[in-house]
Amino acid sequence: MLSLLTSKWALLTVGALQQGPLRFNALRSSLDGVTQKMLTQALRTLGFVDH
């Protein structure tokens, strides 16, 4: 669990999703500076996307 939260984007993604579910592009827009690749990796790490 600790290794999941040490990822910068995983931690920021969890924070952004605390308010409720967001579509991918809305989530990406709310995370300043995240690339599509990094957000996809963070969501996979967190178990939100199938590998």
3-state secondary structure 2-48: HHHHCCHHHHHHHHHHHHCCCCHHHHHHHCCCCCHHHHHHHHHHHCC
Residue 18 tokens, joined: 């605390």
Q: Rounded distance, CA 37 to CA 42, Å?
A: 9
State residue 5's pLDDT score: 58
Tens-digit pLDDT profile for residues 13-43: 999 999 999 999 999 999 999 999 999 999 9
The model carries a pTM of: 0.82
